[in-house]
Protein backbone atom coordinates (compact mmCIF):
# COMPACT_ATOMS: atom_id res chain seq x y z
CA UNK A 1 0.00 0.00 0.00
CA UNK A 2 1.08 3.58 -0.67
CA UNK A 3 2.84 5.25 2.27
CA UNK A 4 2.40 8.81 3.48
CA UNK A 5 4.44 10.86 5.95
CA UNK A 6 3.04 11.21 9.47
CA UNK A 7 4.01 14.83 9.98
CA UNK A 8 7.33 16.58 9.52
CA UNK A 9 9.53 13.98 11.24
CA UNK A 10 7.20 11.01 11.72
CA UNK A 11 7.31 7.59 10.09
CA UNK A 12 5.86 6.73 6.71
CA UNK A 13 2.51 5.02 7.33
CA UNK A 14 -0.08 3.34 5.15
CA UNK A 15 -2.18 5.83 3.20
CA UNK A 16 -5.28 4.18 4.66
CA UNK A 17 -5.01 3.34 8.33
CA UNK A 18 -7.31 1.71 10.87
CA UNK A 19 -9.44 3.56 13.40
CA UNK A 20 -10.06 1.36 16.44
CA UNK A 21 -12.92 3.13 18.23
CA UNK A 22 -15.31 0.37 17.12
CA UNK A 23 -13.20 -2.16 19.06
CA UNK A 24 -14.65 -0.57 22.20
CA UNK A 25 -18.25 -1.33 21.23
CA UNK A 26 -19.29 2.19 20.28
CA UNK A 27 -21.21 0.82 17.27
CA UNK A 28 -22.42 -2.44 18.81
CA UNK A 29 -20.84 -5.33 20.63
CA UNK A 30 -17.25 -6.05 19.63
CA UNK A 31 -15.88 -9.54 20.10
CA UNK A 32 -12.15 -9.90 20.73
CA UNK A 33 -11.98 -12.46 17.95
CA UNK A 34 -13.51 -9.98 15.47
CA UNK A 35 -11.06 -7.28 16.47
CA UNK A 36 -8.10 -9.64 16.16
CA UNK A 37 -9.32 -10.72 12.72
CA UNK A 38 -9.36 -7.06 11.67
CA UNK A 39 -5.83 -6.58 12.93
CA UNK A 40 -4.74 -9.72 11.06
CA UNK A 41 -6.38 -8.32 7.94
CA UNK A 42 -4.62 -4.99 8.48
CA UNK A 43 -1.32 -6.83 8.43
CA UNK A 44 -2.30 -8.70 5.28
CA UNK A 45 -3.35 -5.50 3.47
CA UNK A 46 -0.28 -3.52 4.46
CA UNK A 47 -2.05 -1.23 6.93
CA UNK A 48 0.67 -0.10 9.32
CA UNK A 49 -0.98 2.59 11.45
CA UNK A 50 -3.65 2.24 14.17
CA UNK A 51 -5.62 5.00 15.87
CA UNK A 52 -7.06 4.55 19.36
CA UNK A 53 -7.66 6.55 22.56
CA UNK A 54 -7.84 6.25 26.31
CA UNK A 55 -11.53 7.17 26.02
CA UNK A 56 -12.49 4.26 23.75
CA UNK A 57 -14.09 1.75 26.07
CA UNK A 58 -12.24 3.35 28.99
CA UNK A 59 -9.01 1.90 27.65
CA UNK A 60 -10.41 -1.36 26.28
CA UNK A 61 -9.48 -0.58 22.66
CA UNK A 62 -5.88 0.03 23.78
CA UNK A 63 -5.87 -3.20 25.80
CA UNK A 64 -6.96 -5.22 22.76
CA UNK A 65 -4.24 -3.71 20.59
CA UNK A 66 -1.65 -4.33 23.28
CA UNK A 67 -2.73 -7.95 23.71
CA UNK A 68 -2.75 -8.50 19.96
CA UNK A 69 0.74 -7.13 19.43
CA UNK A 70 2.08 -9.12 22.37
CA UNK A 71 0.45 -12.42 21.39
CA UNK A 72 1.01 -12.14 17.64
CA UNK A 73 4.48 -10.57 17.88
CA UNK A 74 3.32 -7.89 15.44
CA UNK A 75 4.08 -4.17 15.62
CA UNK A 76 2.01 -1.31 14.26
CA UNK A 77 2.63 2.40 14.37
CA UNK A 78 0.16 3.66 16.98
CA UNK A 79 -1.58 6.94 17.74
CA UNK A 80 -3.53 7.36 20.94
CA UNK A 81 -5.19 10.27 22.70
CA UNK A 82 -5.77 11.84 26.10
CA UNK A 83 -7.10 15.02 27.60
CA UNK A 84 -10.75 14.04 28.09
CA UNK A 85 -11.75 13.12 31.64
CA UNK A 86 -12.83 9.48 31.28
CA UNK A 87 -16.19 9.01 32.96
CA UNK A 88 -16.77 12.77 33.17
CA UNK A 89 -19.49 14.82 31.56
CA UNK A 90 -19.17 15.83 27.93
CA UNK A 91 -16.85 18.82 27.73
CA UNK A 92 -14.95 17.93 30.92
CA UNK A 93 -11.36 17.99 29.70
CA UNK A 94 -8.05 18.24 31.54
CA UNK A 95 -4.93 19.20 29.61
CA UNK A 96 -2.74 19.78 32.66
CA UNK A 97 0.67 18.13 32.67
CA UNK A 98 -0.31 15.96 35.63
CA UNK A 99 -3.48 14.67 33.95
CA UNK A 100 -1.88 14.15 30.53
CA UNK A 101 1.08 12.31 32.05
CA UNK A 102 -1.26 10.02 33.95
CA UNK A 103 -3.29 9.38 30.79
CA UNK A 104 -0.26 8.74 28.59
CA UNK A 105 1.38 6.38 31.05
CA UNK A 106 -1.90 4.48 31.37
CA UNK A 107 -2.14 4.19 27.60
CA UNK A 108 1.43 2.93 27.29
CA UNK A 109 0.72 0.33 29.96
CA UNK A 110 -2.43 -0.92 28.25
CA UNK A 111 -0.74 -0.94 24.85
CA UNK A 112 2.25 -2.81 26.37
CA UNK A 113 4.73 -0.40 24.80
CA UNK A 114 7.18 2.20 26.06
CA UNK A 115 6.52 4.62 23.21
CA UNK A 116 3.81 5.60 20.73
CA UNK A 117 4.47 7.26 17.41
CA UNK A 118 1.78 9.91 17.91
CA UNK A 119 -0.09 11.35 20.90
CA UNK A 120 -3.10 13.62 20.44
CA UNK A 121 -4.89 15.99 22.73
CA UNK A 122 -8.34 14.48 22.21
CA UNK A 123 -10.16 17.68 23.16
CA UNK A 124 -8.79 21.01 24.32
CA UNK A 125 -9.15 22.22 27.89
CA UNK A 126 -9.84 25.90 27.31
CA UNK A 127 -8.69 26.83 30.81
CA UNK A 128 -5.11 26.11 29.70
CA UNK A 129 -3.47 27.99 26.84
CA UNK A 130 -2.55 25.76 23.93
CA UNK A 131 1.06 26.97 24.09
CA UNK A 132 1.37 25.54 27.61
CA UNK A 133 -0.04 22.21 26.43
CA UNK A 134 2.56 22.08 23.65
CA UNK A 135 5.32 22.60 26.21
CA UNK A 136 3.96 19.59 28.13
CA UNK A 137 3.92 17.46 24.99
CA UNK A 138 7.48 18.42 24.10
CA UNK A 139 8.50 17.09 27.54
CA UNK A 140 6.88 13.74 26.77
CA UNK A 141 8.72 13.66 23.44
CA UNK A 142 12.09 14.46 25.03
CA UNK A 143 11.46 11.68 27.56
CA UNK A 144 11.07 9.19 24.70
CA UNK A 145 7.42 8.41 25.43
CA UNK A 146 6.02 9.78 22.15
CA UNK A 147 7.39 10.35 18.68
CA UNK A 148 5.20 13.30 17.79
CA UNK A 149 2.05 15.05 18.96
CA UNK A 150 -1.08 16.63 17.64
CA UNK A 151 -4.62 17.78 18.37
CA UNK A 152 -8.12 16.59 17.52
CA UNK A 153 -11.04 18.82 16.52
CA UNK A 154 -9.17 22.13 16.69
CA UNK A 155 -9.30 25.20 14.46
CA UNK A 156 -6.65 26.45 12.00
CA UNK A 157 -5.89 29.42 14.28
CA UNK A 158 -5.22 27.10 17.24
CA UNK A 159 -3.00 24.95 15.05
CA UNK A 160 -0.94 28.00 14.09
CA UNK A 161 -0.54 29.01 17.74
CA UNK A 162 0.57 25.51 18.72
CA UNK A 163 2.89 25.10 15.74
CA UNK A 164 4.63 28.40 16.58
CA UNK A 165 5.85 26.79 19.82
CA UNK A 166 6.91 23.42 18.39
CA UNK A 167 6.13 21.61 15.14
CA UNK A 168 2.84 19.72 15.25
CA UNK A 169 2.80 16.27 13.64
CA UNK A 170 -0.90 15.78 12.94
CA UNK A 171 -4.41 17.14 13.30
CA UNK A 172 -7.37 14.76 13.45
CA UNK A 173 -10.76 16.21 12.50
CA UNK A 174 -13.86 14.74 10.88
CA UNK A 175 -13.72 14.89 7.07
CA UNK A 176 -15.55 13.10 4.28
CA UNK A 177 -17.69 13.80 1.26
CA UNK A 178 -20.53 14.75 3.60
CA UNK A 179 -18.46 16.70 6.15
CA UNK A 180 -16.37 19.30 4.33
CA UNK A 181 -15.68 21.74 7.17
CA UNK A 182 -11.86 21.22 7.02
CA UNK A 183 -11.90 22.57 3.46
CA UNK A 184 -12.50 25.98 5.05
CA UNK A 185 -8.90 26.35 6.16
CA UNK A 186 -7.70 23.31 8.08
CA UNK A 187 -6.50 21.20 5.16
CA UNK A 188 -4.76 24.24 3.66
CA UNK A 189 -3.10 25.19 6.96
CA UNK A 190 -1.85 21.64 7.52
CA UNK A 191 -0.39 21.57 4.01
CA UNK A 192 1.32 24.93 4.55
CA UNK A 193 2.85 23.90 7.89
CA UNK A 194 3.82 20.34 6.95
CA UNK A 195 1.25 18.81 9.30
CA UNK A 196 -0.43 15.48 8.51
CA UNK A 197 -4.21 15.74 8.33
CA UNK A 198 -5.96 12.61 9.64
CA UNK A 199 -9.69 12.44 8.82
CA UNK A 200 -11.84 10.39 11.15
CA UNK A 201 -15.27 9.12 9.99
CA UNK A 202 -14.10 9.28 6.35
CA UNK A 203 -17.05 7.08 5.35
CA UNK A 204 -19.64 9.36 6.89
CA UNK A 205 -20.24 7.11 9.91
CA UNK A 206 -21.27 4.26 7.63
CA UNK A 207 -23.33 6.29 5.13
CA UNK A 208 -20.79 6.26 2.28
CA UNK A 209 -21.06 2.50 1.80
CA UNK A 210 -23.13 0.04 -0.22
CA UNK A 211 -25.62 -0.47 2.64
CA UNK A 212 -27.13 2.31 4.70
CA UNK A 213 -27.18 1.87 8.47
CA UNK A 214 -30.63 1.42 10.02
CA UNK A 215 -31.15 3.99 12.79
CA UNK A 216 -33.77 1.78 14.45
CA UNK A 217 -30.99 -0.73 15.17
CA UNK A 218 -28.63 1.74 16.84
CA UNK A 219 -27.68 0.72 20.37
CA UNK A 220 -27.57 3.15 23.28
CA UNK A 221 -23.77 3.43 22.96
CA UNK A 222 -24.02 4.43 19.29
CA UNK A 223 -23.37 8.17 18.95
CA UNK A 224 -25.40 8.22 15.71
CA UNK A 225 -28.55 7.63 17.75
CA UNK A 226 -28.82 11.36 18.53
CA UNK A 227 -26.89 12.67 15.52
CA UNK A 228 -29.06 15.08 13.51
CA UNK A 229 -28.05 13.59 10.16
CA UNK A 230 -29.45 10.21 11.17
CA UNK A 231 -32.76 11.63 12.41
CA UNK A 232 -35.75 12.60 10.31
CA UNK A 233 -36.43 14.78 8.46
CA UNK A 234 -32.72 14.64 7.56
CA UNK A 235 -31.98 10.95 7.18
CA UNK A 236 -34.18 10.23 4.15
CA UNK A 237 -32.84 13.04 1.92
CA UNK A 238 -29.29 12.13 2.95
CA UNK A 239 -29.93 8.57 1.77
CA UNK A 240 -31.36 9.89 -1.51
CA UNK A 241 -28.28 12.00 -2.26
CA UNK A 242 -25.84 9.24 -1.40
CA UNK A 243 -27.82 6.66 -3.42
CA UNK A 244 -26.97 8.69 -6.52
CA UNK A 245 -23.30 8.64 -5.55
CA UNK A 246 -23.56 4.89 -5.00
CA UNK A 247 -24.96 4.42 -8.51
CA UNK A 248 -22.08 6.46 -9.92
CA UNK A 249 -19.51 4.29 -8.10
CA UNK A 250 -21.14 1.08 -9.28
CA UNK A 251 -21.28 2.35 -12.86
CA UNK A 252 -17.51 2.64 -12.73
CA UNK A 253 -17.12 -0.84 -11.22
CA UNK A 254 -16.18 0.47 -7.77
CA UNK A 255 -17.51 -0.11 -4.25
CA UNK A 256 -19.06 2.95 -2.64
CA UNK A 257 -16.71 2.92 0.35
CA UNK A 258 -13.66 2.53 -1.89
CA UNK A 259 -14.80 5.47 -4.03
CA UNK A 260 -15.36 7.68 -0.97
CA UNK A 261 -11.90 6.86 0.40
CA UNK A 262 -10.30 7.34 -3.01
CA UNK A 263 -11.87 10.82 -3.12
CA UNK A 264 -10.16 11.70 0.18
CA UNK A 265 -6.80 10.31 -0.95
CA UNK A 266 -7.16 12.32 -4.15
CA UNK A 267 -7.40 15.65 -2.29
CA UNK A 268 -3.81 16.04 -1.05
CA UNK A 269 -0.81 13.83 -0.23
CA UNK A 270 -0.62 14.92 3.42
CA UNK A 271 -3.98 13.25 4.23
CA UNK A 272 -4.22 9.84 5.96
CA UNK A 273 -7.83 8.70 6.56
CA UNK A 274 -8.63 6.29 9.40
CA UNK A 275 -11.86 4.40 8.66
CA UNK A 276 -13.01 2.05 11.39
CA UNK A 277 -14.76 -1.32 11.36
CA UNK A 278 -15.10 -4.73 12.99
CA UNK A 279 -15.64 -6.40 9.60
CA UNK A 280 -12.74 -7.71 7.51
CA UNK A 281 -14.85 -7.60 4.34
CA UNK A 282 -15.13 -3.84 4.76
CA UNK A 283 -11.35 -3.62 4.99
CA UNK A 284 -10.92 -5.49 1.71
CA UNK A 285 -13.23 -2.93 0.09
CA UNK A 286 -11.14 -0.07 1.47
CA UNK A 287 -8.01 -1.54 -0.10
CA UNK A 288 -9.58 -1.16 -3.53
CA UNK A 289 -9.54 2.61 -3.05
CA UNK A 290 -5.78 2.63 -3.51
CA UNK A 291 -6.26 1.33 -7.07
CA UNK A 292 -8.85 3.91 -8.14
CA UNK A 293 -7.63 6.71 -10.39
CA UNK A 294 -10.14 9.47 -11.05
CA UNK A 295 -10.41 11.26 -14.35
CA UNK A 296 -11.33 14.94 -14.42
CA UNK A 297 -14.79 13.86 -15.54
CA UNK A 298 -15.07 11.62 -12.46
CA UNK A 299 -14.10 14.49 -10.17
CA UNK A 300 -16.64 16.81 -11.77
CA UNK A 301 -19.38 14.19 -11.56
CA UNK A 302 -18.73 13.58 -7.86
CA UNK A 303 -18.81 17.33 -7.30
CA UNK A 304 -22.15 17.52 -9.11
CA UNK A 305 -23.71 14.57 -7.24
CA UNK A 306 -22.46 15.53 -3.78
CA UNK A 307 -21.81 19.28 -3.80
CA UNK A 308 -20.27 20.93 -0.76
CA UNK A 309 -22.97 21.32 1.87
CA UNK A 310 -25.36 18.70 0.46
CA UNK A 311 -25.85 16.94 3.80
CA UNK A 312 -29.06 17.60 5.70
CA UNK A 313 -28.54 18.30 9.41
CA UNK A 314 -25.49 19.29 11.43
CA UNK A 315 -22.72 16.74 11.95
CA UNK A 316 -23.27 16.83 15.72
CA UNK A 317 -26.11 17.64 18.08
CA UNK A 318 -25.74 20.67 20.37
CA UNK A 319 -24.61 18.34 23.16
CA UNK A 320 -22.19 16.35 21.01
CA UNK A 321 -20.40 19.45 19.72
CA UNK A 322 -19.41 20.64 23.21
CA UNK A 323 -15.62 20.95 23.39
CA UNK A 324 -15.10 21.06 19.63
CA UNK A 325 -13.52 24.21 18.20
CA UNK A 326 -15.64 25.95 15.59
CA UNK A 327 -14.34 28.39 13.02
CA UNK A 328 -15.49 30.31 9.92
Any idea of the CA torsion for 48, 260, 124, 186, to the nearest 10 degrees? 110
pLDDT value of position 24:
87
pLDDT value of position 30:
79
For all residues of the chain together, what is the average pLDDT?
Answer: 96
Q: Which of 27, 56, 68, 119 does the annotation list as catalytic?
A: 56
Over the stretch 199-256, which tens digit does the pLDDT of each residue have? 999 999 999 999 999 999 998 888 899 999 999 999 999 999 999 999 999 999 999 9
pLDDT-derived band at 328, boundaries 50, 70, 90: confident
Any idea of the CA torsion for 295, 272, 160, 320, to the nearest 10 degrees? 100
pLDDT value of position 28:
65
Over the stretch 278-320, which tens digit does the pLDDT of each residue have? 999 999 999 999 999 999 999 999 999 999 999 999 999 999 9
Task: For residue 56, indicate whether it is catalytic.
Answer: yes
pLDDT of 271 > 80? The answer is yes
pLDDT value of position 221:
81
Residue 39's contacts (CB-CB under 8 Å, 6 or more residues apart) are 18, 50, 65, 68, 72, 74, 76
More confident site: 261 or 24: 261
Over the stretch 40-96, which tens digit does the pLDDT of each residue have? 999 999 999 999 999 999 999 999 999 999 999 999 999 999 999 998 988 899 999
> Which percentage of the chain shows pLDDT scores above 70?
99
Over the stretch 17-41, which tens digit does the pLDDT of each residue have? 999 999 987 766 678 999 999 999 9
Contact 252, 294 (CB under 8 A): no
Task: Give 101-109's long-range contacts (Cβ < 8 A, gap of 24+).
Answer: 101/136, 101/140, 103/54, 104/140, 104/145, 104/146, 105/145, 106/54, 106/59, 107/54, 107/59, 107/62, 107/80, 107/82, 108/145
Over the stretch 104-144, which tens digit does the pLDDT of each residue have? 999 999 999 999 999 999 999 999 999 999 999 999 999 99
Show the CA angle centred on residue 30, arms to residues 24 and 32, nearest 5°.
95
Give the pLDDT mean for 148-172. 98
- Give the domain ranges of the chain: 3-204+257-294
What CATH class has 3-204+257-294?
A: alpha beta
Amino acid sequence: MEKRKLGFDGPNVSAISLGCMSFAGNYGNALKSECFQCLDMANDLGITFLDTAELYGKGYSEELIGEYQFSRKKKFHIATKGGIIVGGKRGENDNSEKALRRSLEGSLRRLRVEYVELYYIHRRDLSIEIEEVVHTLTKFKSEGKIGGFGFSEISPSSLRRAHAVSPISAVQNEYSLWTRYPDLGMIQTCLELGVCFVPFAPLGRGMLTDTFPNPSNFLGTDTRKSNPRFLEPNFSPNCKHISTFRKFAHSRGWKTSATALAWILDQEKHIVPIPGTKNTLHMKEWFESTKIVFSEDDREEIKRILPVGFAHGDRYSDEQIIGIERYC
